Amino acid sequence: MCGILVAPFTIVGLLFGIFKEKATRFVAGFNSFSEAEQALYDRAAISRDIRNQCFIWSGLMLAGTVLSYVITTYIAIPTFIIWCILFFKDTHIDVHKAFDKYLLK
């Protein structure tokens, strides 16, 4: 299962790397803001952070895949636990709180 997730994370990371600020319209929560409200945020930083997150997740899943073949298939369990921790630490219920660090000053 780790190997299956490498490709989607890499593709999403590449798309955010290529399209930069334009890709922020695909960010959950951010796309629900009005255009005026979106202008208050640093779109380049949002895109860069999502790109980096996806590449980190892809690397983690690739490492989990390789270690599953080399050591044991049970390595996938801690790999998914680490991914869940990384994923949920940046997940917020409040949309505005999720993007507070990207506000232009």
Mean pLDDT by 10 residues, the chain (105 residues): 91 95 90 91 94 96 94 93 92 85 88
Q: Which domain holds residue 17?
A: 2-102
Element (H, E) at 83: helix 76-89
pLDDT value, residue 96: 83
Minimal CA–CA distance to 30: which of 44, 17, 19? 44
37 and 31 in contact (C-beta within 8 Å)? no
pLDDT value, residue 94: 84
Q: How many domains does the chain have?
A: 1
Minimal CA–CA distance to 3: which of 53, 67, 51, 49? 67
Give the contacts of 27 (CB within 8 A, at least 6 positions apart): 46, 50
pLDDT value, residue 93: 83
